[in-house]
C-alpha cells in the first residue's frame, strides 16, 4: 500500500522537494492533498501532474481559477484557511508534511495532531511559538511528530533505538551562512541579495535570512527543546562550514553519535516520509575523502545577536519564544523589502522581547494574542526607529 501524503505548503521549497521525493519514490508514496496560499499557477501544475484527491488554495480570491483548472480532472478544490484545518480529518491521509512557513501553520498543525495524523514537521515557527501546547496535544493524542529540518532530523536519527539512554547534550551544527568569517562592521551594509546567497543550502527566502543571521539555529534550539524534552543547558551550537555533520548527540557514557550526509534536503524529507524504513534512492553519496577536513568552532554571539536572543527566550519560556518568532518574522520581512538593515533585525526582536507582556503559562488564545500584538509593536518600532542604513 502506498503511503498517502498531504503536503501543506506544496509550492514552497520543502513542498516542491517533497513532491520530487514522491516522484522518485512513486511505488511508496502518493500525494493525497496539496495546499498553497496564493501561488496558484504552480499549485495547478502540481495538481495536474500528481492528481491529488484534494487541493486547498488558502487565498479565496484564487478559488475560481483553481476550480476551473482542476474540476475537469475530478480533483476536489477548497479555499480558505479554515479548509486547511478541515482536511486534516480526511481518513485517507496517512501523513501530513507541514511545510507552511511561519506562525500560520499553528492551527492546521494542532488540528492534524487532534485528528491523530502523523506529522512530518518542516515548520519550526509554530513549535517555537507554542511548543508546550503542541507537545501536550501530540502526547495526549499519541500522534508522532517527525522533524524534517536537517539538524533536528539528524538528532531524531541519532536517538532512534536509544530508548531511555541518558543524553548529556546535543550539538546543533550551523554552516555559518554567507557571512561566516566576516567582520561585524560588514554586516551593517549587506543587502538582501547577499544574505540570500547561502553557500551550501538552497532554501526559501525567510529561512535563508534566518540562516544568515543564525536566528535559524536559535529557532532550532527552541524546537529541539520541545521535540526531545531537553533543558537549555543541554543544547550547544557549533559552526561547521562544510555542513556535513548535521548534528551530534552526546550520551552519558561518553559516546557521541553523529548523522552525516550531503547537503540535500531530500534526504531528511524522504526519511520523514518513510520512517521507520529507509528506501534506496539515486541521490548523491557522501565522499569524505573528497571533502578532506571537517571543522567546528563556537559562534560569535555578539556578532550574531539573534542567536543570543533566541537562547534568552529559550531559558525564559512562557510566551517569550512566541514574541521572538513574531518580531523576527516582521524584521525579516522588512529587511527583504529593504526597509531596514540586516543588523536591525535583532533590534526589532530585542525591543519586542523587552516591552511586551510576559505570560508564564500561555493557553492557545494567548499565543495568538501575543503574536498579533507583537506584529503591531514590531511594525511601529520599524516605522519609528529603523531607518534604512
The H-assigned helical ranges of the chain are: 13-24, 40-50, 63-70, 81-87, 106-114, 124-140, 150-159, 184-187, 192-195, 205-212, 215-227, 266-274, 288-291, 305-316, 320-336, 345-355, 364-385
Peptide bond into 263 cis (omega under 30): no
Q: What's 279-339 look like in SS3?
A: CCCCCCCCCHHHHCCCCCECCCCCCCHHHHHHHHHHHHCCCHHHHHHHHHHHHHHHHHCCC
Q: For residue 75, which of 96, 99, 100, 46 has the smallest C-alpha distance?
A: 46
pLDDT of residue 156: 97
Question: What whole-number distance in Å separates Cα of residue 124 and Cα of residue 130?
Answer: 10
Query: Distance between alpha carbon 233 and the CA centroid of its chain, in Å?
Result: 22
Look at strands 167-174 and 245-251 and give their pairing: antiparallel
Q: Could you tell me the CA-to-CA distances from 168 to 160, 218, 227, 251, 253 in Å, in that order?
A: 16, 19, 16, 5, 9
pLDDT of residue 167: 96
C-alpha atoms less than 13 angstroms from C-alpha of 318 in its C-beta half-sphere: 12
The three cell numbers of residue 374 are 507583537
Question: What whole-number distance in Å separates Cα of residue 105 and Cα of residue 85?
Answer: 10
Residues 6 or more apart whose Cβ sits within 8 Å of residue 337: none
pLDDT of residue 101: 87
Residues 198-204: contacts with CB under 8 Å, at least 24 apart: 199/175, 199/241, 200/175, 200/242, 200/243, 200/263, 201/175, 201/243, 201/263, 201/265, 202/13, 202/265, 203/13, 203/265, 204/12, 204/13, 204/14, 204/101
Residues 6 or more apart whose Cβ sits within 8 Å of residue 361: 318
Which SS3 state, helix, strand or coil, does residue 359 take?
coil
| CA dihedral over 203, 205, 211, 215, signed as positive or negative | negative
pLDDT of residue 388: 53
pLDDT per residue, tens digit, the chain (389 aa), is 899 999 999 999 999 999 999 999 999 999 999 999 999 999 999 999 999 999 999 999 999 999 999 999 999 999 999 999 999 999 999 999 999 988 999 999 999 999 999 999 999 999 999 999 999 999 999 999 999 999 999 999 999 999 889 999 999 999 988 888 888 888 899 999 999 987 776 667 888 899 999 999 999 999 999 999 999 999 999 999 999 999 999 999 999 999 999 999 999 999 999 999 999 999 999 999 999 999 999 999 999 999 999 999 999 999 999 999 999 999 999 999 999 999 999 999 999 999 999 999 999 999 999 999 999 999 999 998 765 54
Residues 6 or more apart whose Cβ sits within 8 Å of residue 172: 151, 155, 217, 220, 221, 224, 235, 236, 237, 238, 247
CB 176 within 8 Å of CB 238: no
Query: Distance between alpha carbon 20 and the CA centroid of its chain, in Å?
Result: 18
Q: Could you tell me the CA-to-CA distances from 9 to 76, 122, 288 in Å, in that order?
A: 17, 10, 34
C-alpha atoms less than 13 angstroms from C-alpha of 29 in its C-beta half-sphere: 28
Question: What whole-number distance in Å separates Cα of residue 276 and Cα of residue 338?
Answer: 44
What domains sit in the chain, N to C, each tagged with a CATH number? 3-147 (3.40.50.720), 149-265+276-315 (no CATH), 317-389 (1.10.1740.10)
CB 240 within 8 Å of CB 151: no
Q: For residue 272, which of 124, 163, 154 has the smallest C-alpha distance?
A: 154
Q: How many residues does the chain have?
A: 389
Amino acid at each position: 500500500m502506498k503511503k498517502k501524503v498531504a503536503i501543506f505548503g506544496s509550492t514552497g521549497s520543502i513542498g516542491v522537494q517533497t513532491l520530487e521525493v514522491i516522484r522518485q519514490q512513486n511505488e511508496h508514496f502518493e500525494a493525497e492533498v496539496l495546499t498553497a496560499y496564493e501561488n496558484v499557477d504552480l499549485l495547478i501544475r502540481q495538481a495536474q501532474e500528481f492528481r491529488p484527491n484534494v487541493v486547498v488554495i488558502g487565498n479565496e480570491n484564487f478559488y475560481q481559477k483553481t476550480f476551473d483548472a482542476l474540476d475537469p480532472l475530478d480533483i476536489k478544490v477548497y479555499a480558505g484557511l479554515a479548509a486547511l484545518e478541515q482536511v486534516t480529518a480526511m481518513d485517507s491521509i496517512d501523513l501530513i508534511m507541514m511545510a507552511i512557513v511561519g506562525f500560520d501553520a499553528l492551527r492546521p498543525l494542532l488540528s492534524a495532531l487532534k485528528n491523530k495524523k502523523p506529522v512530518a514537521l518542516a515548520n519550526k515557527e509554530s513549535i517555537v511559538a507554542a511548543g508546550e501546547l503542541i507537545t501536550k496535544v501530540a502526547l495526549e493524542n499519541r500522534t508522532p511528530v517527525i522533524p524534517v529540518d536537517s539538524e533536528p532530523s539528524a538528532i531524531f536519527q541519532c536517538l532512534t533505538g536509544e530508548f531511555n539512554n541518558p543524553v548529556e547534550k546535543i550539538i546543533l551544527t550551523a554552516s555559518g551562512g554567507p557571512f561566516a568569517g566576516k567582520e561585524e562592521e560588514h554586516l551593517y551594509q549587506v543587502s538582501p541579495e547577499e544574505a540570500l546567497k547561502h553557500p551550501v543550502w538552497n532554501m526559501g527566502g525567510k529561512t535563508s535570512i534566518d540562516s544568515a543571521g543564525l536566528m535559524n539555529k536559535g529557532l532550532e534550539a527552541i524546537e529541539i527543546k520541545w521535540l526531545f524534552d531537553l533543558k537549555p543547558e543541554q543544547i550547544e551550537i557549533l559552526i561547521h562550514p562544510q555542513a556535513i555533520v548535521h548534528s551530534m548527540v552526546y550520551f552519558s557514557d561518553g559516546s557521541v553519535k553523529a548523522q552525516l550526509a550531503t547537503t540535500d534536503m531530500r534526504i531528511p524529507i524522504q526519511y520523514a516520509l518513510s520512517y521507520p524504513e529507509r528506501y534506496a534512492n539515486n541521490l548523491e553519496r557522501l565522499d569524505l575523502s573528497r571533502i578532506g577536513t571537517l571543522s567546528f568552532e563556537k559562534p560569535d554571539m555578539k556578532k550574531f545577536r539573534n542567536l543570543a536572543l533566541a537562547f534568552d527566550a529559550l531559558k525564559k519560556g512562557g510566551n517569550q519564544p512566541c514574541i521572538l518568532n513574531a518580531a523576527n518574522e516582521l524584521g525579516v520581512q522588512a529587511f527583504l523589502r529593504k526597509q531596514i538593515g540586516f543588523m536591525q533585525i535583532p533590534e526589532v526582536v530585542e525591543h519586542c522581547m523587552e516591552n511586551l507582556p510576559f505570560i508564564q503559562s500561555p493557553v492557545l488564545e494567548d499565543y495568538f494574542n501575543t503574536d498579533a500584538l507583537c506584529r503591531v509593536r514590531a511594525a511601529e518600532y520599524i516605522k519609528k526607529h529603523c531607518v534604512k542604513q
